[in-house]
Chains A and B, each alone.
Chain A
Amino acid sequence: MFENLTEKFQRVYKNLRGEGKLTEEHINLAMGEIRTALLEADVNVKVAQDFIERVRAKALGSEVMTSLSPSQQVVKTVHDEMIALLGGQAVKLRFKSQPPSVILMAGLQGSGKTTTSAKLAYWLSRNGHRPQLVSVDVYRPAAREQLKIMAQNAGMPIFEGPPGENSPYELARLARREAIMSGRDTVIVDTAGRLHIDQQLMEEMKKLREQLEPTEILFVADAMIGQDAVNSAAEFHAKLGLTGIILTKMDGDARGGAAISIRQVTGQPLKFIGLGEKFDAFEMFHPDRVAGRILGMGDVLSLVEKAEQAMDAKKARELEKRMFAADFSLEDFREQLKQVRKMGPMDQVLGMLPQVGPLQGLSKAKVDERELTKTEAIISSMTVKERNNHQIINGSRRKRIAVGSGTSVQEVNRLLKQYVQAKRMMKTFSSGFMGRKLAKMKLEEMFQGQPQ
């Protein structure tokens, strides 16, 4: 099994930890490990080499800060360098002062342009814009139908064009006109997937750019892409002048080294990431968070932000208070489970948790949504009394609960055991090195980390 980048860096970290002094040898060892990790993460081999050299130079030349151990310092250097490479800060989209602004989506076949177009429209509409969609993919079977359905699902307006209209230029022109007439401030243009070496289709894209004068030309790239990312991205950039990158399918387990490669060869910022097939599985790209995630610090900020969005703030605060009180009950747990599930698919939520501390590795356990449903069912089959005092749940009550929830006594036993463990865990957290908010997240991870 490949180690993921996170684990790899942790190992580097561990190897380095405890060393009193940072020698050149240590740095070389770390760099070797990091190179392998970067390559396994699909960072382009040349880009990885550059990166290593820069980090090495910095690590060797830097003064040892008193606040950090030498090993921490190497990790910090790598982390800082990666953030720098990824672009430092989140970058906003640009708009014309005179609407409508046009956003042109570009990329290889199947990278996620159509899905991302709908997501972007939805995202913009939630951020004070009035977007309109149009597909100029006149080639792929049912491409326009696909965008239409996705637009409908997301409740976004789409310009379909007159029946039989099969010119991308004409469709784009009419869509723009329509946007002006209906007071839309942004037109998102979904284009056909194309190879960067397809002269004819690249020429088409160039013409579309000239015609539409887009404020953004976004390169939509699959997070699973390998070494060739540098070739396609560089060529798209050379031909079109990209203004940003969107990395899709980040809900998978690809390590996403492509982010580094593409960023490096285009110099353009990563702007969003796609996290699923639904229109709301979409987030702004935060270099610090992604670098943090790569390096094993977890995507804590994203998670907390999401949690805050999904949870009823007041309820959450109450829950949190109770959770750290000694009387955190199964009823509280059920409520919490509900709230967490609102944040999105559990595997996605867990993927954003940090990979350090006593819980590292837990999030790797497969999360089964059906297990969660079962857990909820089991607790629902308990009486209020039982939920508030689990100690009264004896053998016959367990049997009844199992029957009531359509599960088995073993499953009920398991849940109770997990509950007791969680209670214990929370004590550790509240005496805390990671803060309460994070501790709260940890709880879900623990529960879901052991479905077996």
Chain B
Amino acid sequence: MPIQSLFGPPPPPSLFDRFKKAVTSTRDTLAAKLEEATRGKIEVDQALLDQLEVTLLAADLGITTTTELLKAVKTRASSTTAQAGDTSTQVRDILKDELLGILTRSGSGAPANPTAEPPVVLMLVGVNGVGKTTTIGKLAHQLKGNGKEVLLCAADTFRAAANEQLEVWAQRSHTEMIRQKPGADPSAVLYDALAAAKSRGVDYVIVDTAGRLHNKSNLMAELEKMKRTAGRLIPGAPHEVLLILDATTGQNGVLQAREFLQAAGVTGIVLTKLDGTAKGGVAVAIARELNLPIRYVGIGEQRDDLVPFNPKLYVDSLFE
């Protein structure tokens, strides 16, 4: 079943608005700076490029992606017949197109894994404090709202009060949760949860994992083990491994994605905390480099604060 279809028909207008609102700060800054950078200019000269570079870098797109984008702007602008006095729009359109290209190529927002039989297993992974547990609460709430039976798996057995935190989210989303004592083997909790899911016939199992820094090989190996455990119990599981990425994260995000992709087979990204002023541009860099789709966006701490990622809306809201 397509993950995205769980959320029913395309986002209603209010969702669009909320998404837009979340990225408004991003858009305002970017658009304003762009406006400023290009006003009155007729050619894409070095000064303009320099200014654009600063703008893109400040959005955390990173030097590699920024350089690529600027190269494209330069080449395409020079081969496009200049519309008199309208360089600003041209540059903007080219940038927009390039960004959209990156996001589209990575399949951002698109449904994945359309054929899995229930229970569909979703596993959330990421470094410490990015929003895994909260995102699980939000996902569970949405799935429940779509009439699905959801079971939560508290496989963060390490962090203080991780069980209690997820428990609150289980209550908020009216879902059940499988847990063990703190310090238990996460794979054992996962085993319990998947066994329970099969016998109860639930549609979804969402697995919380402890935050871990990607440079800790023993902790990354633990994820591999969990993955194997899931696959043994339910062929094809976990069907989705979502990497939770904090929008405030800088270029380290690329390293995170690379390592989690390798160890846990990440299938998509959730960009959290986009309600702040950070732009989350590193997600674009990740999409570009690792071809990982961005699936959802976190825009607050409440259960409704999760919206599907839509590349077009994202880029449009940056440039409209």
* Chain A residues close to B by CB (< 8 Å): 2, 36, 39-42, 44-46, 108-112, 139-143, 145-150, 153, 195-197, 222, 224-229, 231-232, 249, 251-255, 257-258, 277, 345, 347, 366-370
Contacts and interface: CB of A to CB of B under 8 A. Distances in A.
A40 B63 contact: yes
Contacts of A345: 216
Contact of A369 (B63, B218, B251, B275): B218
B106 interface: no
Contact of B276 (A195, A224, A258, A366): A195
B42 interface: no
Contacts of A222: 129, 246, 248
Which of A109, A150, A369 counts the most B-chain CB atoms under 10 A from its CB?
A109
Nearest to A146: B161
Interface string B206-219: 00000001111110
A148 B160 CA distance: 9
A367 B165 CA distance: 32
Contacts of B129: 109-112, 222
A121 to B, nearest CB: 14
B164 A140 contact: no
B150 interface: no
A227 B253 CA distance: 12
Contacts of B5: none
Contacts of A229: 248, 250
Contact of B250 (A36, A147, A195, A224): A224
A110 B301 CA distance: 12
20 contacts: A2-B251, A39-B62, A40-B251, A108-B276, A110-B128, A110-B130, A110-B131, A147-B160, A148-B161, A149-B160, A224-B249, A226-B278, A227-B59, A227-B60, A231-B278, A232-B277, A252-B215, A253-B215, A277-B158, A370-B218
Contacts of B218: 368-370
B161 A226 contact: no
A252 B127 CA distance: 9
Given A2-B251, A226-B248, A145 B164 contact: yes
7 shortest interchain CB distances as A-B pairs: A226-B250, A110-B129, A42-B250, A141-B168, A228-B278, A146-B161, A142-B164
B273 A109 contact: yes
Given A41-B251, A146-B160, A146-B164, 11 more contacts: A2-B254, A40-B63, A141-B168, A142-B165, A142-B168, A143-B161, A196-B277, A224-B127, A227-B59, A249-B127, A257-B250
Which of B58, B59, B128 counts the most A-chain CB atoms under 10 A from its CB?
B128
A246 to B, nearest CB: 14
B41 interface: no
B76 interface: no
B260 interface: no
Contacts of B57: 39, 45, 227
A46 B55 CA distance: 10
Which of A110, A251, A253 counts the most B-chain CB atoms under 10 A from its CB?
A110
B20 to A, nearest CB: 16
Contacts of B301: 109, 139-140
Contacts of B278: 226-228, 231
Contacts of A45: 54, 57-58
A252 B277 CA distance: 24
A153 B136 CA distance: 27
Chain A interface mostly? loop
Given A40-B251, A45-B57, A232-B276, A226 B282 contact: yes
A248 to B, nearest CB: 9
B160 A258 contact: no
Chain B interface mostly? loop
B6 to A, nearest CB: 24
Contacts of A227: 57-60, 250, 278-279
A219 to B, nearest CB: 14
B173 to A, nearest CB: 12
B219 to A, nearest CB: 10
Given A45-B57, A45-B58, A370-B218, A226 B249 contact: yes
A330 B169 CA distance: 53
A197 to B, nearest CB: 6
B81 interface: no
Interface string B154-188: 00001111001101110000000000000000000
A228 B128 contact: no
B215 A108 contact: no
A197 B277 contact: yes
B210 to A, nearest CB: 9
Contacts of B169: 141
Contacts of B161: 142-143, 145-146, 148-149
Nearest to B66: A39
B277 A253 contact: no
Contacts of A231: 277-278
Interface string B89-132: 00000000000000000000000000000000000000111110
Contacts of A150: 160
B252 interface: yes
Contacts of B128: 110, 112, 249, 277
Contact of A277 (B62, B159, B252): B159
B233 interface: no
Contacts of A143: 161
Nearest to B57: A45
A395 B57 CA distance: 59
Contacts of B253: 224, 226
B1 to A, nearest CB: 29
Contacts of B60: 226-228
Contacts of A253: 213-215, 252, 255
A139 B216 CA distance: 31
A130 B36 CA distance: 55
A30 B168 CA distance: 53
